[in-house]
Each structure stands twice: as C-alpha cells, then as structure tokens.
Amino acid sequence: GLNPFLVVSSAIAAVLLVSACIFHLRGQLLRASLAASLTGLFVFTFLFEATMTELGDLKVSSRLQHSLAVNGYDDSDKVGIIGYSEPSFVFLNGTRTHLLGIKNAKTFLEGEGEVLIVDRRHEEALREALEGSPFQLEARDTITGLNYSKGRDMTLTIYTVTNQQTEATGEHE
C-alpha cells in the first residue's frame, strides 16, 4: 500500500529541492545551501523508511535466533549449526552455540546435541553421514534470506534431533 509518511516526505523534499534551485538562481547561496541540506535530510529519511522495512532477508541471524527462542533453544549448548557461521548469530544466540561441520555433527549428536541448524547446501551430506545412525531429524522451521557477506541466497532449516536408540532403551526399562 501507499505509505503516508513516504508521500509527505517526498512532497517536502520536492518543495525543498525546488526552493534550493530558486534560491541558487537568485544568488541567495546561504538559503540555497540550507534548502539543499534539508532536501538531503528528507531524501535520506525517505530512502531509509522505504528500504529498511524491506530488508528482512538480510536479518537471517535475528530471525534464526527468534525461531530458536520461540522453541526454547536460545542460548543453549545443545544447538549446533552447519554451514552458517556468521558472528552475528553467535553473538545473538550465545557463545555456547556449536559451529559444526559434517564430520563432527555425529559426535555432537552423540553428546548433548538436540538441535541442528543446517544450510540447504549441506543437508544431503548430513543425511548421508547420519545414515544407519539412530538419529532422526525433524524439521521445525525454515529461515530463508541473503547472506550479504558472501552474496548468496540461503535456506537454513532448524531440526530437532531424536536418538531412536535412546528412546527405545528408555521405553523398555
């Protein structure tokens, strides 16, 4: 829809720009400079408001952390992540977040690991690595966005992990 704030900011910026041009043509340079500066302020405000609301795809770490918090896994040492090692996520989720590779994911799960966050590019390799193991992955949420530091689209899936062997042993006791 049409944002009234953007319409008003644009109109004010346009009036100020025309005023700056008129002042300049009349030789009133101080007034022209003031009007030009105010034009810049309104144009910046306009661009900031117009673009910042659309930048959700760049906030991958905060959306990922929010999803973990909703599910009770924020700042947990039971969270491992494969294929996404942005410092912003570690900062938001806590330093106990395990940055993993495919090779050490199984070891993490054999320990206390309960949640795996996996970049789409690594999912097939992870499934192959876990083949024949008692670990079952259940997708809980998917976060898509743009990794601006690497300039590529990404899809992260949050999985909860269950150990079928442990559950079977617990049921028979």
Residues 41-70: tens digit of each pLDDT: 888 877 777 766 666 656 788 888 888 888
More reliable by pLDDT, 59 or 36: 36
pLDDT at 172: 47
pTM of the model: 0.64
Residue 92 CA to chain centroid, in angstroms?
A: 11
Mean pLDDT over each residue of the chain, to the nearest integer: 82
Residues 70-113: tens digit of each pLDDT: 877 766 678 888 988 888 888 887 777 888 888 888 888 888 77
CB atoms within 10 A of CB 129: 17
Tell me what the mean pLDDT of segment 27-39 comes to.
94
